[in-house]
């Protein structure tokens, strides 16, 4: 084989989580009382637009989680040797965006380096801005840059609109046939917003995403869209690679948080007495310890273990992945207390209701009461907490990496980008694009997660119209 599949710890957990989500979605689709609130989410334009944006981020993260190593060109056929560099399907799709490295900083869409250097010109040392090796290399001089950028953007805009019209036509024909309507009648309902789902919002958002993707692809083919960093690496590539790290932090940390928060929170509220006292003491003590200190201590322990056992990790990606997994575990074990307190209060209220007292009187076991009467009535709180805490965890990674106790420095993440850019803000002129790119993508992901969370909260709130 020309490639050797590589499965990192986080890769396996990500796809296990994906399988679990798909299984849960299939189960929900078969039960009307569970399907109804999600149908209400699907009728909210803001939530569905945000879900489409989140879907793009998730798709990039999944493609970046399919890892492999390439076969060395000069390796023997009977005993193939593979490169130590671990790549992903996303790396293969972006092509040479990963390898087009310049000497050092260059501004977005620039043709020259950001700083002057001495170059030899007809036997004389002249201080000027050297041309980039890849950015704008197809141009003869700077006067051609702006028309070329306009031309590429116009082509991308045209192609994006054409692709959007094509997809919209296929969608319209399929939906009209499914609803047994004429195409004209379906288009009229779509224009008036009478489809029962936010068709106009989804079409407009999909069009915007297609145009944006087209512009980035066309410009990235000839320029560094977001410039380059200190070592000349394309900032757009680094930013896109950081999406996976943000998603891993947000999702895997939640997997650790939920079992602790649900089991301890519900147990404290339902059993009360000494069980409640012990659990309250545990999370009160845990809240009294600065979380950054616990995370720093855990990361340092893991780092020391990796350095003392190098034989267990045959490449840099495996070492960075173990540190990322350790960060998710320790963040999950220190961030469950808020949800546990919320579930404790709700379980206290539910345990005093008549149907729970009746179940106890009939001799129903505690396990059955908890699984049939308590947990289903607090599940909406768990779901809302998941989508709300996701954005907080993404931001927490940026802060932790900024202070040096986050993910491995060799791993692409928005926190590492911000940490690397903080000292460059004092330069004259300022190197701002690395910080700006990290902020833009992180802001987009967090905003989309929050808007989707608002839609889920409103749909699952029984006191609101459209809730259960």
Three-class SS state of 121: strand
Q: What is the dihedral of CA 272, 277, 283, 286, to 10 degrees?
A: -170
Distance, C-alpha 245 to centroid of its chain: 7
pLDDT in tens, 388-445: 777 778 878 777 777 777 788 888 888 888 888 877 777 777 888 888 998 899 889 9
- Counting as low any pLDDT under 70, the low residues of the chain are 1, 461-468
pLDDT at 414: 87
pLDDT at 463: 52
Residue 41, in any domain of the structure: no
Checking 355-362 for CB contacts under 8 A at 24+ apart, the result is: none
Q: What is the DSSP string of 11-52?
A: HHHHHHHHHHHHHHHHHHHT-HHHHHHHHHHHT-HHHHHHHH
Closest residue by Cα to residue 450 from 113, 98, 51: 51
Q: CB of 49 within 8 A of CB of 205?
A: yes
To which residue do tokens 């147990």 refer?
267
Residue 357, in any domain of the structure: yes
| CATH number, domain with residue 301 | 1.10.3720.10
Burial class of residue 311 (count of CB atoms within 10 Å of its CB; 0-12, 13-18, 19+):
exposed
Closest residue by Cα to residue 435 from 290, 230, 248: 230
pLDDT at 1: 61
Domain containing residue 388 = 235-456
Residue 4, in any domain of the structure: no
pLDDT at 209: 93
pLDDT at 55: 93
Residue 355, in any domain of the structure: yes
pLDDT at 461: 65
Number of domains the chain contains: 1
pLDDT at 59: 94
Residues 126, 333: Cα–Cα separation, whole Å: 59
Residue 346, in any domain of the structure: yes
Overall pTM > 0.75:
yes
In the numeric block, which tokens belong to residue 72? 């060395």
Residues 142, 125: Cα–Cα separation, whole Å: 22
Three-class SS state of 76: coil
Contact partners, residue 233, CB within 8 Å, separation at least 6: 101
Residue 202, in any domain of the structure: no
Q: CB of 415 within 8 A of CB of 398?
A: yes
Q: CB of 138 within 8 A of CB of 254?
A: no
Residue 431, in any domain of the structure: yes
**Length reported for the chain:** 468
Residues 452, 439: Cα–Cα separation, whole Å: 20
Contact partners, residue 454, CB within 8 Å, separation at least 6: 46, 47
Contact partners, residue 114, CB within 8 Å, separation at least 6: 104, 105, 106, 107, 129, 227, 429, 431
pLDDT at 462: 54
Both ends of the chain: CA-CA distance in Å?
53
In whole angstroms, how far apart are CA 253 and each of 21, 65, 388? 16, 17, 13
Contact partners, residue 294, CB within 8 Å, separation at least 6: 330, 334
My answer on whether omega of the bond before 429 falls inside 30° of 0, hence cis, is yes
Residues 216, 60: Cα–Cα separation, whole Å: 15
Measured CA angle at 88 (ends 84, 93), to 5 deg: 130
pLDDT at 466: 42
Residue 245, in any domain of the structure: yes
């Amino acid at each position: 084989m020309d490639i050797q599949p590589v499965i990192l710890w986080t890769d396996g957990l990500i796809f296990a989580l994906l399988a679990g989500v798909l299984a849960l979605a299939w189960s929900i689709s078969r039960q009307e009382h569970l399907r109804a609130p999600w149908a209400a989410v699907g009728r909210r334009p803001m939530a569905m637009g945000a879900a489409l944006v989140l879907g793009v981020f998730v798709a990039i993260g999944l493609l970046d989680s399919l890892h492999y190593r390439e076969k060395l060109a000069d390796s023997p056929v009977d005993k193939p040797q593979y490169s130590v560099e671990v790549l992903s399907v996303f790396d293969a799709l972006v092509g040479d965006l990963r390898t087009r490295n310049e000497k050092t900083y260059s501004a977005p869409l620039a043709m020259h380096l950001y700083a002057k250097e001495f170059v030899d010109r007809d036997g004389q040392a002249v201080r000027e801005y050297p041309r980039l090796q890849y950015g704008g290399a197809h141009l003869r001089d700077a006067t051609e840059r702006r028309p070329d950028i306009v031309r590429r953007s116009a082509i991308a805009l045209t192609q994006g609109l054409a692709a959007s019209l094509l997809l919209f036509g296929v969608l319209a024909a399929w939906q009209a046939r499914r609803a047994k309507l004429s195409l004209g009648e379906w288009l009229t309902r779509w224009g008036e917003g009478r489809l029962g789902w936010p068709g106009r919002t989804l079409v407009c958002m999909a069009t915007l995403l297609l145009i944006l993707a087209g512009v980035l692809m066309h410009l990235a083919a000839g320029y560094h869209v977001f410039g380059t960093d200190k070592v000349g690496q394309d900032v757009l590539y680094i930013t896109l690679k950081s999406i996976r790290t943000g998603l891993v932090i947000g999702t895997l940390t939640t997997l650790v948080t939920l079992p602790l928060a649900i089991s301890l929170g519900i147990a404290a509220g339902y059993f009360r007495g000494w069980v409640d006292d012990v659990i309250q003491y545990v999370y009160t003590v845990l809240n009294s310890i600065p979380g950054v200190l616990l995370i720093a201590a855990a990361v340092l322990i893991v780092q020391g273990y990796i350095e003392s056992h190098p034989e267990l990790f045959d490449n840099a990606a495996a070492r960075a992945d173990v540190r990322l997994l350790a960060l998710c575990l320790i963040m999950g074990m220190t961030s469950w207390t808020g949800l546990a307190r919320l579930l404790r209060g709700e379980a206290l209220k539910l345990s005093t209701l008549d149907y729970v007292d009746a179940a106890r009187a009939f001799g129903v076991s505690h396990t059955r009461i908890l699984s049939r009467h308590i947990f289903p009535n607090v599940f909406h709180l768990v779901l809302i907490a998941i989508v709300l805490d996701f954005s907080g965890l993404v931001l927490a990674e940026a802060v932790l990496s900024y202070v040096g106790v986050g993910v491995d420095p060799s791993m692409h993440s928005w926190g590492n980008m911000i940490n690397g850019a903080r000292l460059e803000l004092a330069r004259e002129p300022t190197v701002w694009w690395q910080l700006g790119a990290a902020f833009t993508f992180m802001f987009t992901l967090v905003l989309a997660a929050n808007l989707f969370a608002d839609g889920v909260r409103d749909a699952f709130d029984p006191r609101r119209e459209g809730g259960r």
